[in-house]
């Protein structure tokens, strides 16, 4: 076979493979449903099972108002503030608007958990970020 024919066939194979990957990713994105498990595990003790701010720890930490997480979009002109919510949950970057940091720094906790489970590897940052994104997506799904 000539080099030109080999290049054309290779390019066609790469193109077809990339199209399959794109379609698969789009189908996965459409079928992804928010899951409450991470919220229940990390947030419900303060924010309540329904996200309205009446978790059982509010009785222990008197004077701390965790806020109604179902109103984040309503309090932001109807737009869910994804970036800000991510930053507050992750906590590794200072967010002055959040006020005093009474909420745990979940980014650090998720990072440490990944380090414990998987050891030091390059995917730990992505694992921690994925858990935070899972929470952001869930919170977006419970907006009233």
pLDDT band of 108, cuts 50, 70, 90: confident
pLDDT at 101: 64
Segments of 9-126 assigned E as strands: none
φ and ψ of 117, to 5 deg: -75, -45
CA separation for the pair 89, 46 (Å, rounded): 13
Range in 14-23, 52-61, 64-73, 92-101 with the lowest mean pLDDT: 14-23
CA distance 12 to 2: 16
- For residue 91, the model assigns a pLDDT of 85
Give dist(CA 51, CA 40) in Å, integer. Answer: 9
């Amino acid at each position: 076979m000539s080099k030109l024919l080999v290049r054309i066939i290779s390019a066609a194979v790469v193109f077809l493979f990339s199209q399959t990957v794109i379609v698969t990713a789009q189908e996965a994105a459409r079928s992804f449903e928010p899951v409450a498990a991470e919220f229940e595990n990390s947030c419900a003790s303060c924010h309540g099972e329904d996200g309205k701010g009446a978790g059982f720890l509010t009785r222990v930490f008197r004077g701390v108002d965790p806020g109604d997480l179902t109103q984040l979009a309503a309090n932001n002109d109807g737009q869910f503030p994804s970036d800000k919510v991510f930053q507050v949950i992750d906590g590794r970057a200072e967010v002055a608007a959040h006020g005093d940091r009474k909420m745990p720094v979940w980014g650090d906790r998720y990072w440490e958990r990944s380090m414990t489970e998987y050891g030091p590897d390059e995917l730990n940052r992505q694992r921690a970020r994925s858990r935070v994104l899972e929470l952001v997506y869930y919170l977006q799904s419970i907006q009233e």
